Structure 1
Amino acid sequence: LVLRRRNQTLTLMRANGFITLEATAHARRQPLQVVRRDGGQTQQAPAVVEHVLEEFKALRPDLSVEDLFHGRVQLHATADSRVQHIVNEALEHGLERYEQRHPKTAGLVQGSVVVLRNRDASILAETGGRRFFKGRSATYSDYNRVTRSLRQPGSAMKPFVYLAAFRRGGFTLETLVPDEPISVSNGVGRPPKWISNYDGRFMGPIPLRQALAESRNAVAIWITKQIGIDNVLETSRGLGVRTPLARYPTTALGASEMNLLELANAYRTIASGIVAEPYVIRALVDDSGTAVTDRRRRPSPAGIDAAALSLIQEGLRGVVRLPTGTAHALAARRFPIAVMGKTGTTNEFRDAIFVGSTFGPDGITAAVRIGFDDNRSLGPRETGGRLALPVFQELMLAVYGTGIVGLAPSFPVRMEERITASLLPRDPAPTPEVAIETVAVPVRLSLHPPAAGETDWLLQNGFPRLLPR
């Protein structure tokens, strides 16, 4: 049976002009060789293959996949096998570290990673899931979590809020913003939803730079109320987010879903100042060597003024450099590559996210997401900084350490100097010699009296404050 199938294939190849009559006769005379299949062998880039086939169908509906498989058209992809191998390894190591802390989840937790070139959004590597899942190796027909999975970005959404504020005007990185209890409407007839920070504390007025670095939820909501959610949505679309986002204040905290590729591309736009749609097919060439499709493109500047773009770049660099920043593990003393980025952790620790970039058009952007397909919790304190950031760290070290994409670009000297200056201690402002009488008005946020040891909310000087009982 195998011999007959082999000969049928040779006949078809001869009939379609792929081999000569002499080559067909020679191949028919050769004995069959049996090769043992390596049960552990996996496809290196199944998500890239899936993405290529989908993009091929959309790009050239007049051509079929059969044209591709039969060699009537050749495809040149943007993915780099060296970067892909690095990304595969980094994700597997990250999942292994999580499983060591949670042995009962072995083989169940999933992840996805995508790496883009900043200058044109071409995809260098894409991993839509782990190598082995539910007892079998990943293939190109599997679910691609980079492009198909819509999940909440969590705090990785906040830079879009800050950029929207910079674009609108009236905000700088030194603007004092209130890190104070704040609520959003929960609908008619329902009590409001009060926003808390990850650490459960409020710090009062703080510089906007610090609020972004420390990912203060209350500040993100306050800014959104000041500038309007429509400005946040418009800015997100301008950065490359194509999935419609909910016109609701908690979208500022990442409550609306998007796919990982959109999120990565938005950060890439911030890092480069260039608008582009992600793509994985660079060119299609027919059997005569003529390019039937060439996707090399000229960069298009983002529709964001340079001052606002510089402010958000500096703010995201501060997330790394400020000692209290959520990505301080990537600071220069611990990590030799200059990067900017943001962590993201969704409600009840369901997803852990990190998106980061090296600077400018010559840099790259990588996005990492780890979570369960059934949306269960990853467990307490399993944050983007703990789970996803180390994957980013490993892949960036390997990509730049091997020189695959050249040297890591530096951030502008003046930008780094401003961040350094913000780290220096400042003289406290003199206290004005004015007597002010403060009246506290209690505002109960619960329908039930507080239990022993709980707290009351009081309104002081225009801001609600949490006071110990």
Structure 2
Amino acid sequence: MDPATRYQKKGKVVRLLLKLSLLFLLLMAFFILSLWVFAKIQGPPPVKVPQTTRFYDADGHQIGKMEHQNQNRYWVKLDDIADPLKQATVAVEDKRFYKHHGFDLRRLAGAVVADIKSMSKEQGASTITMQYARNLFLTNDKTWTRKLAEAFYTMRLEMNYSKDEILEGYLNTIYYGRGAYGIEAASKYYFNKDADDLSLAEASMLAGVPKGPSYYSPYNDFDKAKHRQRIVLNSMVSSGYITKQQADNAFEQPIHLVKKHKTPKRVAPYFQDTVEYVLKHKLHIDEKTLATGGLKVYTTLHSDMQKKAEYWVKQVIDPKSDIQTAMVAMNPKSGAVEAMIGGRNYKKSSYNRAVQAKRSPGSSFKPFLYYAALRNGFTPSTALKSEPTTFRFDDGKEKYSPSNFGGYYAYGPITLAQALALSDNIYAVKTHLSIGMDKLVKTAKKVGITSPLGKIPSLALGTKPVSVAEMARGYSAIANGGARVTPHYISKIVNQKGEVIYEWEPKKKQVLDKPTTFVLSQLMTGVFDSKLNDYSKVTGSTVSKMLTHKMAAKTGSTAADSWMVGFTPKLVSAVWIGYDKGKSLSTYPETGYSKLIWTHFMEAALEGAPKNGFKPPKGVVGVLVDPDTGKLATKACPNARMTYYLKGTEPQEYCDKHKGEHSHKKDQHKDNSKDKGGFFNRLLNLFD
């Protein structure tokens, strides 16, 4: 073949190759253009990054989190990340991040050539955007299919999010080893700092870890981590972020890693368990959202109050004892549960005795009875005999013979005020039967007792089991002037976007008469007043001298339970003491634990609060009364006590037990009440 012919053939081949190359380029351009158009049509990809749900107390301090596969994931704004960390990351991972549109063609071309030479896919040219796409949607498998999908998601991210938004997402999702996902979790784990407090030395150290979290972690191999830090610092110098001198200084600066990663003590674990229960079963938030949704759950817990409760439990109870306790403290105005103890040791037993257990409340149930009595003809001066009595009920078919604690009786009449303060059982059962056993049940239900109750004589003595939380709620209605509130543990929930998805709305319902409720609350202060001592001392006598605030309360005891429940207008707390298996309590000191814990806690929690927050409403009057007779006191009465009555029911007669002049003139008291004397004299003779 002559040279001319060979030249023509070569020319044809060259022209064919050029045409094929041009066609290939056109097809590639069309493919890329189509991909961009399709990416634009698809719009922004849904960015759902797993994040740890965190719990906060009432003051906004973090108290706990939802555990998820031992991972810590937190999201922080780009402005809340230290500049050196952002600069170090861009310098070492993607220098041209702010210049390209998701793909660095220079690096990509070099990586393709390297892959073809080695016949593998080992070389990478991933930009920050590509890595972010992989973190969000894909795996780390080195396949062409995955790389094509990565490219598509990269386009969608670049077309719909700003560079700063992409960098923020990347820094919040990249893995830094040791279970830390995102820079905030890494900063906390390695240096116990927030991400915006990182120094240049710390930032350059952390920025080098994602290249190989197990290989470059300073915990695994500090020398390798320092070598990687030098690479990061040099990249920052070449990118113009810092000078050579700053890089050298940062490299020489000592790195102070967290030496010991102690599992932090869980704040109020029983309370947090209750919060989780409410989230799942009351607010119906699914498990996945709780585990990875990055919710911020703001609770009602007052951490300082919780610490005081835990302190006094430890101080009062013998550490060698197996006895258990439970406490609920709540704000009676709002229903916010501010402190909770479900047991003495959460690690040994996570069973929450404050909300799950139900025990007989004993005489602490009596205030509900005496409210019903005050609404059905009784006054604080109503007198009934305290003596051993056998009661007949159910048309005389059944008998009931209760007894007073220790076998002590007045063997004569005592007033309602004394009966409550002394916790006289005979008086309580007589009252219960005289007004009708349905009245106590109805009152208890009104104030929020939801446990089953029976119309039986012994209900007056608290024989039906209820929870500590129920008793706290019931007493809150008394403290709140007869308005029932719904206990709550969560004030609001904020999602990843900062949107409030739930906020508590206070729910209050007036269920009791306000003046009557006030009269009852003042009767309940009598458990601490020695002026009401009679055949025995008032039940709060052992702790009365510890009180500096005016408080209303009631004790309660059974063979296996000891209670103290009480309040001021701003705080209610209920304390229970007993054994899990119902073992009987010894006479001393176990039966006194509840009083001591309650008293010390209330005083500590109310430090700085007004000494007397009780304010009489309209419809009540206060007069000086002789506690023994329930009549108006004279100057000769040694224990005259201010006692409140519903207006028109206050006593009109003066005490004739003690000789002396009247302390008040009769015309100072308006007689608006009906004469009840005949009714109650007849009532005294109803029982054997």
Shared fold per TM-score greater than 0.5? yes
Q: Does 1:77 align with 2:299?
A: yes
Separation of aligned partners in 2, 1:416 and 1:35: 67
Q: Work out which of the residue numbers 374, 377, 398 in structure 2 matches 1:166.
A: 374
Aligned-residue offset at 1:288: 1.7
Q: Work out which of the residue numbers 389, 400, 403 in structure 1 matches 2:606.
A: 400
Separation of aligned partners in 2, 1:393 and 1:6: 41
Partner of 2:409: 202
Identity of aligned residues (%): 25
Does the residue aligned with 1:120 lie in a helix, a strand or coil?
coil
Partner of 2:331: 117
Partner of 2:615: 412
Q: Is the 8 A contact 1:338 1:408 kept in 2?
A: yes
CA displacement, residues 14-40 of structure 1 (integer Å, 9 cap, x when unaligned): 43767245977634232337855669x
Q: Does 1:222 align with 2:435?
A: no
Does the residue aligned with 1:72 lie in a helix, a strand or coil?
coil
Aligned-residue offset at 1:464: 7.2
Q: 1:262 to 1:212 in 2, by over 3 A?
A: same
Partner of 1:31: 218
Q: Is the 8 A contact 1:115 1:124 kept in 2?
A: yes
Q: 1:308 to 1:396 in 2, by over 3 A?
A: same
Separation of aligned partners in 1, 2:563 and 2:539: 12
Partner of 1:316: 524
> What amino acid maps onto 2:172 in structure 1?
I
Partner of 2:494: 285
Separation of aligned partners in 2, 1:81 and 1:69: 24
Separation of aligned partners in 2, 1:368 and 1:8: 36
Aligned-residue offset at 1:411: 2.4
Q: Is the 8 A contact 1:116 1:365 kept in 2?
A: yes
Q: Work out which of the residue numbers 466, 471, 474 in structure 2 matches 1:266.
A: 474
Partner of 2:196: none
Partner of 2:99: none
Q: Is the 8 A contact 2:328 2:469 kept in 1?
A: yes
Separation of aligned partners in 1, 2:293 and 2:281: 19
CA RMSD of aligned residues (A): 3.4
Separation of aligned partners in 2, 1:128 and 1:50: 10
CA displacement, residues 136-164 of structure 1 (integer Å, 9 cap, x when unaligned): x357xx10000000100000011111011
> What amino acid maps onto 1:217 in structure 2?
N
Aligned-residue offset at 1:306: 2.2
Separation of aligned partners in 1, 2:397 and 2:340: 43
> What amino acid maps onto 1:15 in structure 2?
L
Separation of aligned partners in 2, 1:194 and 1:8: 62
The equivalences for 1:31-430 within 5 A come to 31-32=218-219, 36=260, 42-61=265-284, 63-96=285-318, 106-131=320-345, 137=347, 142-168=350-376, 170-184=377-391, 192-203=399-410, 204-273=412-481, 274-297=483-506, 299-300=508-509, 302-323=510-531, 324=533, 325-331=538-544, 333-346=545-558, 348=559, 350-358=560-568, 360=569, 363-381=570-588, 386-401=592-607, 403=608, 406-412=609-615, 418=623, 422=627, 423-424=639-640, 426-428=655-657
> What amino acid maps onto 1:288 in structure 2?
K
Separation of aligned partners in 2, 1:409 and 1:32: 58
Q: Does 1:15 align with 2:224?
A: no
Q: Is the 8 A contact 1:42 1:131 kept in 2?
A: no
Q: 1:36 to 1:178 in 2, by over 3 A?
A: same
Structure of greater relative contact order (alpha carbons < 8 Å, 6+ residues apart): 1
Q: 1:20 to 1:266 in 2, by over 3 A?
A: closer
Separation of aligned partners in 1, 2:621 and 2:329: 25
Q: 1:115 to 1:9 in 2, by over 3 A?
A: closer
Does the residue aligned with 2:375 lie in a helix, a strand or coil?
helix
Q: Is the 8 A contact 1:354 1:389 kept in 2?
A: yes
Aligned-residue offset at 1:227: 0.9
Aligned-residue offset at 1:308: 1.6
Q: 1:420 to 1:45 in 2, by over 3 A?
A: farther
Q: 1:218 to 1:66 in 2, by over 3 A?
A: same
Does the residue aligned with 1:270 lie in a helix, a strand or coil?
helix
Aligned-residue offset at 1:210: 0.5
Q: 1:231 to 1:190 in 2, by over 3 A?
A: closer
Q: 1:421 to 1:412 in 2, by over 3 A?
A: farther
Q: Is the 8 A contact 1:46 1:138 kept in 2?
A: no
Q: Is the 8 A contact 1:167 1:304 kept in 2?
A: no
Separation of aligned partners in 2, 1:194 and 1:60: 47
CA displacement, residues 250-299 of structure 1 (integer Å, 9 cap, x when unaligned): 01101001000001111111011221111101111122222111113154
Does the residue aligned with 1:245 lie in a helix, a strand or coil?
coil
Q: Is the 8 A contact 2:485 2:507 kept in 1?
A: no
Q: 1:242 to 1:408 in 2, by over 3 A?
A: farther
> What amino acid maps onto 2:345 in structure 1?
R
Separation of aligned partners in 1, 2:73 and 2:290: 17
Separation of aligned partners in 2, 1:228 and 1:187: 12
Aligned-residue offset at 1:94: 2.2
Count of residue pairs the alignment pairs up: 403
Does the residue aligned with 2:172 lie in a helix, a strand or coil?
coil
Separation of aligned partners in 2, 1:372 and 1:356: 22
Partner of 2:107: none
Does the residue aligned with 2:328 lie in a helix, a strand or coil?
strand
Does the residue aligned with 2:601 lie in a helix, a strand or coil?
helix
- Structure 1 unaligned blocks of 5 or more: 100-105, 431-460
Separation of aligned partners in 2, 1:343 and 1:250: 17
Aligned-residue offset at 1:200: 1.1
Q: Is the 8 A contact 1:95 1:111 kept in 2?
A: no
Q: Is the 8 A contact 2:332 2:485 kept in 1?
A: no
Aligned-residue offset at 1:8: 12
Partner of 1:449: none
User: Which structure is larger by alpha-carbon Rg, 1 or 2?
Assistant: 2
TM-score normalized with structure 1 length: 0.77
Does the residue aligned with 1:19 lie in a helix, a strand or coil?
helix
Separation of aligned partners in 1, 2:522 and 2:561: 26
CA displacement, residues 421-450 of structure 1 (integer Å, 9 cap, x when unaligned): 6432943289xxxxxxxxxxxxxxxxxxxx
Q: 1:189 to 1:173 in 2, by over 3 A?
A: closer
Larger proportion of helix: 2
Q: Is the 8 A contact 1:91 1:113 kept in 2?
A: no
Q: Is the 8 A contact 2:564 2:594 kept in 1?
A: yes
Separation of aligned partners in 2, 1:79 and 1:125: 6
Larger proportion of strand: 1
Separation of aligned partners in 2, 1:298 and 1:191: 42
- Structure 2 unaligned blocks of 5 or more: 1-68, 75-130, 138-168, 177-181, 183-207, 221-257, 628-638, 642-654, 660-683
Aligned-residue offset at 1:185: 5.3
> What amino acid maps onto 1:345 in structure 2?
S
Separation of aligned partners in 2, 1:383 and 1:21: 55
Partner of 1:448: none
Separation of aligned partners in 2, 1:163 and 1:377: 30
CA displacement, residues 386-405 of structure 1 (integer Å, 9 cap, x when unaligned): 2201101111222122x4xx
